[in-house]
Amino acid sequence: MEVWTRLRAKSGSTAKDVSELAALLAAALIAGLFERLIPFDFAVPGVKLGLSNAVVLMSLYLLGAGRAFMLAVLKCFAIALVSGDWAAFMYSISGSMMSFFAMLMTKRALGGENGASPIGVSAVGAVFHNIGQLLMAAFILGSLNVMAYLPVLAISGIITGILVGFIVKFALPAVKKARRSARG
Amino acid sequence: MKRMDAIIIAALLFLSLAAFAGIQILGGAGGGKDEPARVFVYVDGELRETVVLNSQVQEIEIRTPYGVNTLIAYPDGVKMKSADCASQTCVHTPKRIYSGGVIACLPHKLLIRLEGRFDGGVDAIAS
């Protein structure tokens, strides 16, 4: 008990915070794995919905930057652990990091009362996820030629980003309400 | 959807289209109208092979240290026929017919790049 109190003082996390993060991680994991089941063969590899990003974006609004960042990192590890696809992990982690910081900056700089809603933030995040993935691919292939995929990926990212943004925008009030009553 | 969202989305769309235009211009620059269409095969970032498209359907086997791919060069484009990897992403990539188009096989560190136009190919069939 004493150890826990000390840990808590250090990290500022309560048991509720930890379990909340775990629940969100589980949600992101399910979203990410579910998405892999959808065959989504477009003109360019890497086109996908980005459902697990909905959870990251939501936690950015619910829990703030620090915990949302933890979730973005843990999500990539969790999906790779469960799916066993460690080749995809390289791309997902670089995409997630780019996407996270792009969303954070967009939210901070352009968000606010009359500013960007989760829809705009999500669209930016989706495009930067693709940019991060392509940079990793360019690094692995040792050639920037792979950037030829960027326009198609960016436009598909804008579309899926807007969809994910709508999900977050409409789910956020309900999740906030549930969170208030759960945390008392 | 707020005004700022619309501005952000418009800006992203504009940048994507600008990138598309830029890649088209850069991709088209190497292959003039008179130049035959060529396929460049890169392994590990280094040019391994160059294939000139002609009226025949050419099958090219590419052996990399990571695995084997089979590429098909058509008169009007290029497509990956097979790859001995788990993901099969490059095999599902549609036929590339435009200059600057790429097919990437990430597990085998392989990149296929198409350059040039195909008027020659079509004419060759017609004549």
The domain that holds B55 is classified in CATH as 2.60.320.10
B25 assigned to some structural domain: no
pLDDT digits (tens, 9 = 90+) for A60-116: 999 999 999 999 999 999 999 998 878 788 889 999 999 999 999 999 999 877 888
Q: What average pLDDT does this structure show over B36-57?
A: 87
pLDDT digits (tens, 9 = 90+) for A119-155: 999 999 999 999 999 999 889 888 888 888 888 889 9
Q: How distant is the alpha carbon of residue B123 from its chain centre?
A: 22
CA dist., res. B21 & res. B10, Å (int): 16
Buried/exposed A9-30: b ≥16 CB within 10 Å, e otherwise: eeeeeeeeeeebbeebbebbbe
What total number of domains does chain B contain?
Answer: 1
What total number of domains does chain A contain?
Answer: 1
Domain holding A161, by residue range, is: 2-183
B89 contacts A120? CB cut-off 8 A: no
The confidence score (pLDDT) of residue A29 equals 94
Taking the Cβ of residue A87 and every Cβ of chain B, the question of whether any pair is shorter than 8 Å is answered with: yes
**For tokens 């089979």, what's the residue?**
B70
Q: In angstroms, what CA-CA distances link A39 with A35, A46, A48, B84, B107?
A: 8, 12, 9, 20, 20
Is residue B124 scored above 50 in pLDDT? no
Question: Is the predicted ipTM greater than 0.90, yes or no?
Answer: no
| Order of strands, sheet of B58-64, starting from the edge strand that comes earlier in the sequence | B58-64, B67-74, B77-83
Is residue A55 scored above 90 in pLDDT? yes
Domain holding B36, by residue range, is: 31-126
B17 assigned to some structural domain: no
B9 assigned to some structural domain: no
Residue among A137, A143, A162 minimizing CB distance to B9: A162
**Which residue in chain B is spatially nearest to A133 when comparing CA positions?**
B106
The confidence score (pLDDT) of residue A1 equals 60
The domain that holds A90 is classified in CATH as 1.10.1760.20
- The answer to whether residues A50 and A168 touch, using CB atoms and an 8 Å cutoff, is no
B105 assigned to some structural domain: yes
Residue among A119, A142, A155 minimizing CB distance to B1: A119
pLDDT classification of A41: cutoffs 50, 70, 90: low
B24 assigned to some structural domain: no
B49 assigned to some structural domain: yes
B98 assigned to some structural domain: yes
Torsion of CA B105, B37, B29, A153, to 10 degrees: -30
B23 assigned to some structural domain: no
Phi, psi values for residue A85, rounded to 5°? -95, 80
